[in-house]
């Protein structure tokens, strides 16, 4: 997938937020994990980062591949296990900057879908067991990579920056699959909000809890860091005050009317 932005935002933000916290051992270089505290609350930061020396050639640019999927599950499950008897579960913060899932023969052969399922299930389980789970979008959040790393969070936060993008597929491949030109695809993206690639259109879908204005998304200033820490703190308080551990908070967006209508019809017909 073509990419003009520097692909190291995830690593940059993990280092900025985590301060001096060491990277936990036992993970591949492409999965960085650090424990820190935010407002007196224990929290685990998790980021998928590029590893140019990965033995998997299709997963060297920050893609979520086989090792990354299973290792994300490990990072989350180890936090769940460590806090099993703790009165307060640590927060889990997924720092999202993933250009895509890994596209390759090795990946399909060994069941990359199962690796990504493992990661998604781990985040969902952590949320159901009372860990506040937050996704912080600092770069691209694409497709299967985002499903595995971030989309199961209680709250999704995004930097308000053109380099932050959410989508189901890169433009060239999406054009091929839907039998359109890239130009046609871009024309539709301008008028059909769920097809757009930019974060402002995405915000109209109601999936984001908050967008965070920053000066330098790729190289945060001290002000940026304190702004993001404050937003994370607010999100934790909002999760703690919420009696529900599910994803219903995402259904209120102006462009999600059909999602609400379908659920209302199902609920009214369910009992017969």
Partner 1 sequence: MTRAALLSRESFVELGARARAQALLDPGTFRELAGPFDGLTSPWLKRQGVVPQGDDGVVVALGTIDGHPTVVLAIEGAFQGGSLGEVGGAKIAGALELAAEDNRRGVPTRAVILFETGGVRLQEANLGLASIAEVHAAIVDLRRYQPVIGVIAGQVGCFGGMSIAAGLCSELVVTREARLGLNGPAVIEQEAGIAEYDSRDRPFIWSFTGGEQRFATGLADRFVNDDTTAIRDVVAELIARPPRSAHRSERYTDYLRRLGRYDASKQPTPDAVRDLLGDQT
Alpha helices in 192-245 (DSSP H): 199-203, 222-240
Question: C-alpha 75: how far from its chain's center?
Answer: 15
Residues 81 to 120 in contact with partner 1, rule: CB under 8 A? 100-101, 103-118, 120
Q: Stretches 7-15, 82-90, 189-197, 228-236: which one binds partner 1 (CB under 8 A)?
A: 189-197
Q: How far is the CB of 259 from partner 1 (least distance, A)?
A: 4
Q: Least distance in Å: CB of 170 to partner 1?
A: 7
Compute the distance between CA of residue 44 and CA of residue 35 in angstroms, rounded to an integer.
4
177 near partner 1 (CB under 8 A): yes
Instruction: Look up residue 158 and give its two tokens.
Output: 């995004």
Which one, 127 or 131, has the nearer CB to partner 1? 127
Structure letter (DSSP) for residue 194: G
25: how many CB neighbours lie within 10 A of its CB? 6
Query: Per CB under 8 A, does 61 bind partner 1?
Result: no
- CA–CA gap between residue 8 and residue 26 (Å, rounded): 21
Does residue 256 belong to the site contacting partner 1 (CB under 8 A)? yes
Query: What SS3 state is found at 55?
Result: coil
> 10 Å Cβ neighbour count for 141?
27
Count of residues engaged in binding partner 1, rule: CB under 8 A? 82
Are the beta carbons of 207 and 194 closer than 8 angstroms?
no
Select from 14-22, 86-94, 227-235, 244-252 the region that touches partner 1 (CB under 8 A). 244-252
Among 23, 41, 77, 210, binds partner 1 (CB under 8 A): 77
Q: Which of 58, 131, 140, 149 binds partner 1 (CB under 8 A)?
A: 58
CB of 236 to partner 1, least distance (A): 20
């Amino acid at each position: 997938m073509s990419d003009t932005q520097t692909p190291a935002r995830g690593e940059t933000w993990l280092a900025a937020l985590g301060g001096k916290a060491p990277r936990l051992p036992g993970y591949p270089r492409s999965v960085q994990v650090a424990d820190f505290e935010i407002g007196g609350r224990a929290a685990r930061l998790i980021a998928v980062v590029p590893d140019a020396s990965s033995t998997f050639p299709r997963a060297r640019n920050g893609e979520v591949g086989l090792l990354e999927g299973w290792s994300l599950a490990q990072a989350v499950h180890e936090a769940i296990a460590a806090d099993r008897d703790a009165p307060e579960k640590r927060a889990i913060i997924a720092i999202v900057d993933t250009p895509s899932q890994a596209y390759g023969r090795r990946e399909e052969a060994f069941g990359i879908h199962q690796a990504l399922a493992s990661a998604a299930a781990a985040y969902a389980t952590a949320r159901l067991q009372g860990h506040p789970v937050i996704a912080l979008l600092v770069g691209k959040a694409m497709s299967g990579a985002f499903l595995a790393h971030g989309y199961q969070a209680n709250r999704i936060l995004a930097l308000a920056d053109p380099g932050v993008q959410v989508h189901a597929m890169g433009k060239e491949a999406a054009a091929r699959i839907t039998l359109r030109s890239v130009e046609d695809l871009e024309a539709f993206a301008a008028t059909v909000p769920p097809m757009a690639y930019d974060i402002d259109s995405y915000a109209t879908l109601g999936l984001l809890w908050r967008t965070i204005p920053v000066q330098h998304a790729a190289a945060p200033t001290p002000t940026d860091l304190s702004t993001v820490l404050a937003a994370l703190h607010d999100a934790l308080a909002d999760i703690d005050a919420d009696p529900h551990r599910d994803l219903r908070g995402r259904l209120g967006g102006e462009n999600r009317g059909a999602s609400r209508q379908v659920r209302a019809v199902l609920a009214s017909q369910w009992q017969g």
